[in-house]
Amino acid sequence: MDRIVTEGGIQLKGEVKISGAKNAALPILVSSLLTDGRSTYSNVPDLKDIDSIKLLLSTLGAEIDTGGDVVRIDAGGLNNYKAPYDLVRKMRASILVLGPLLARLKKARVSLPGGCAIGARPINLHLKGLADLGASIELKHGYVEARADKLKGAEIYLDLPTVTGTENLMMAAALAEGTTHIKNAACEPEIEALAHAMNGMGADIQGAGTSCIKINGVSSMNPASVSIIPDRIEAGTFMTAAALTGGDVRVSDCEPDHLGSVINKLRLAGAKIKINKKSIHVTGPDEIISVDIKTRTYPGFPTDMQAQFMVLMSVAKGVSTISETIFENRFIHISEIKRMGADITVSGNSAIVKGVPMLFGAPVMASDLRASASLILAGLAAKGKTEVNRIYHLDRGYESIEKKFKLLGAAIKRVSS
């Protein structure tokens, strides 16, 4: 199994180009199921999660052609409404095929994501919304079975602003008869990107990016050419790394408007930040200042940046409180950062971080995607060698992260066992 090895203490300098956003690419690629023509998608990142969704779409009958960062999908041959456990278990975002299959084939049989029952990170809001649109829903033997002779527009209220739930319902409602309003919808940039892509395919979606989305159903949709937006979490990760190492880094091919909360907190931590139209220049401070954060739904501070920012606070002057309000069990990385000398105490859904003068290299184990990135950041700032093990999570969401850090001067390499 591969691992990432770093030698810390080097100031990162140079320019890093941000890849397309995984969390935008996944639903946009899935939206190809809504049309029977050949759509073209550019700026698609080369990630394990992208490979997984392409395999799933292919299993459903879509023809897929990939070259570089371009993916072409022709769903004209869509003929399978079953998304099997062996594919869906690899990635929770696979549940996104539920809405399009129901809209296009009038039925869907999709494994519960990860093989789990509805509970943590539930899909009950997806199912309630689809039932509001007129679908009959049953849970049998670990699968969601949904049917609808005709989906009809409805008023849907989401108890929580779920991102994948909003996306699933947008895609289902696009081909429904009549008008659908999704209230308390998620507002993330990835939602807006999906709506833009679908409108280019002939959908009629208004208000995406706000808490109330209006979808006027259409009878059919057409193929389109879509460019995937930049990955705001990847951009935030490199910005935090620049601040952490006292570096001087230009983060290019990004969307600064999507990073307001991260920019604000990094400035409060002492980093100097200059914003251009499609790039952000970050200069790390001589002394990092402690800053409190609380994760929120967009436009609040993203939960996907919590672990990386915690590493920054681990070497800041003073004490900070980091509160996680989105996901439970998102503090698993703390035990590994503490192995490197961090002083962190957990109380409920908050972590009290007392800054230390320095972290020290150590062998550590990654538990999830963002924890993997945070441990690499810790290794870049630590004294000595750090080995980050079980990094297969990284390849799900970061495209060639070690190569990008190496271009910034980091002493980092991937080692295959």
Residue 11's contacts (CB-CB under 8 Å, 6 or more residues apart) are: 245, 246, 247, 248, 284, 409
Give the CATH number for residue 189.
3.65.10.10
| DSSP conformational letter for 76 | T
Please tell me whether residues 209 and 305 are part of one structural domain.
no
pTM of the model: 0.96
Instruction: Kindly give the confidence (pLDDT) of every residue in the chain, 417 residues in length, as a single tens digit, with 9 standing for 90 and above.
Output: 899 999 999 999 999 999 999 999 999 999 999 999 999 999 999 999 999 999 999 999 999 999 999 999 999 999 999 999 988 888 888 999 999 999 999 999 999 875 333 234 579 999 999 999 999 999 999 899 999 999 999 999 999 999 999 999 999 999 999 999 999 999 999 999 999 999 999 999 999 999 999 999 999 999 999 999 999 999 999 999 999 999 999 999 999 999 999 999 999 999 999 999 999 999 999 999 999 999 999 999 999 999 999 999 999 999 999 999 988 778 989 999 999 999 999 999 999 999 999 999 999 999 888 999 999 999 999 999 999 999 988 999 999 999 999 999 999 999 997
| Number of domains present in the structure of the chain | 2
Burial class (CB within 10 angstroms; exposed 0-12, middle 13-18, buried 19+) of 138? exposed
Please tell me whether residues 326 and 354 are part of one structural domain.
yes
Give the 3-state secondary structure of residue 291. coil
Please tell me whether residues 8 and 29 are part of one structural domain.
no
- Give me the active site residues, please: 116
Domain residues for the domain of 331 are 3-19+230-415
User: Cis ω on the peptide bond leading into residue 189 (within 30° of 0)?
Assistant: no
Please tell me whether residues 216 and 308 are part of one structural domain.
no
Please tell me whether residues 256 and 380 are part of one structural domain.
yes
Work out whether strand 155-157 and strand 179-183 pair parallel, antiparallel, or are unpaired: parallel
Please tell me whether residues 234 and 164 are part of one structural domain.
no
Torsion of CA 394, 396, 398, 403, to 10 degrees: 60
